[in-house]
């Protein structure tokens, strides 16, 4: 992911984005849904509902407003994957979890089905949390379960080879065709395989209620025309891809799935 190489200095030093920054407050928002798609065509769980960027950022604005009521001099800016800040690094530094072998933040309470946000403030926070030790132990289920061997250990550190990753290719890849031989596990948008096998996700609390109406809309996308696809995906993470990309992904995820002309 070449965009990750840009602004590397800003990702590690928020003062380059917000000159008066003194502290970073990291937050997690679980997106673990009440039900999941059990169809040949799958969608990553984070995309089931409204775009988390908007929802989480609004929550951070509200939190800042509440803090200012008690501390009027509290000045801060919220960030939700909208600026080059290393979300996982700051969350791990804040003690919210550790970076697992799947390269995702793993929370001892919420698992890895979480969105991350930050409040960067001009205030000095005197009480702060300490990083947690990595609790993956010898488990490597995520590594062994990846259908494309996208998780690799390099010099003792697990890295993600984005060119092999189903999630990257079905969302960020703009080519007319997906890489030949990419095994999607049925996923047409994103991928949850390395998270589904993680023991830390087995007993996490449900935080997002997905009703049957919304689930039917998602399930019907496999046969939707362009107008319906755009209507259902508006204001959701699925809106990050075009209808032509969706058809491309469907072709590889479920080649025999019928669709409307």
Catalytically annotated residue among 9, 39, 51, 81: 81
Active site (annotated) includes residue 211: no
pLDDT of residue 83: 75
pLDDT of residue 261: 46
Answer yes or no: are the C-beta atoms of 37 and 215 closer than 8 Å.
yes
Structure confidence by residue, pLDDT tens digits, 46-61:
999 889 998 999 999 9
Query: Of 69-83, 140-154, 214-228, where does mean pLDDT reach its minimum?
Result: 69-83
What is the value of pTM for the model shown?
0.89
The full DSSP string for 121-166 is ESS--SS---PPPP--TT--HHHHH-TT--EEEETTEEEE-GGG-H
Rg for the chain, CA atoms, rounded: 19
Reported as type and span, the H/E element at residue 23 is strand 23-30
pLDDT of residue 16: 84
Give the Cβ contact number of residue 179 at 10 Å: 13
Answer yes or no: are the C-beta atoms of 151 and 221 closer than 8 Å.
no
What mean pLDDT value characterizes the chain?
Answer: 91
Q: Which residues contact 34 (CB under 8 A, 6 or more apart)?
A: 206, 208, 209, 210
Q: Which two tokens stand for residue 154?
A: 């390099």
CA distances from 87 to 4, 110, 169, 224, 233 (A): 12, 16, 21, 35, 25
Structure confidence by residue, pLDDT tens digits, 65-97:
999 999 999 999 999 987 778 899 999 999 999
Alpha helices, DSSP H, located in the chain: 8-12, 52-70, 87-93, 141-145, 166-171, 193-196, 212-220, 226-233, 243-253
Structure confidence by residue, pLDDT tens digits, 101-146:
999 999 999 999 999 999 999 999 888 889 999 999 999 999 999 9
More confident: 127 or 253: 253
More confident: 238 or 258: 238
pLDDT above 60: residue 5: no
- How many helices (H) does the chain have, and how many strands (E)? 9, 9
CA–centroid distance for 27 within its chain? 14
Length of the chain: 261
């Amino acid at each position: 992911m070449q965009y990750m190489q840009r602004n590397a200095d800003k990702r590690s030093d928020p003062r380059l984005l917000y000159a008066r920054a003194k502290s970073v407050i990291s937050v997690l928002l679980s997106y673990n849904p009440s039900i999941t798609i059990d169809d040949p065509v799958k969608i990553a769980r984070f995309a089931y509902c409204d775009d988390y960027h908007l929802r989480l950022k609004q929550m951070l604005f509200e939190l800042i407003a509440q803090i200012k009521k008690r501390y009027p001099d509290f000045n801060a800016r919220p960030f939700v994957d909208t600026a080059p800040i290393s979300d996982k690094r700051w969350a791990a530094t804040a003690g919210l979890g550790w970076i697992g072998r799947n390269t995702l933040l793993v929370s001892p309470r919420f698992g890895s089905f979480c969105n991350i946000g930050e409040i960067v403030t001009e205030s000095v926070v005197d009480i702060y949390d300490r990083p947690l030790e990595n609790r993956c132990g010898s488990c490597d289920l995520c590594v062994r379960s990846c259908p494309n061997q996208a998780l690799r250990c390099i010099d003792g550190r697990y890295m993600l080879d984005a060119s092999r990753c189903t999630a990257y290719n079905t969302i960020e890849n703009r080519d007319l065709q997906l890489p030949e031989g990419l095994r999607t596990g049925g996923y047409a948008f994103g991928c949850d395989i390395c998270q589904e096998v993680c023991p830390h996700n087995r007993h996490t609390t449900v935080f997002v209620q997905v009703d049957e109406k919304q689930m039917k809309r998602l399930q019907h996308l496999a046969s939707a025309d362009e107008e319906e696809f755009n209507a259902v995906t508006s204001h959701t993470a699925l809106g990050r891809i075009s209808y032509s990309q969706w058809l491309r992904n469907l072709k590889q995820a479920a080649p025999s799935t019928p669709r409307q002309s």
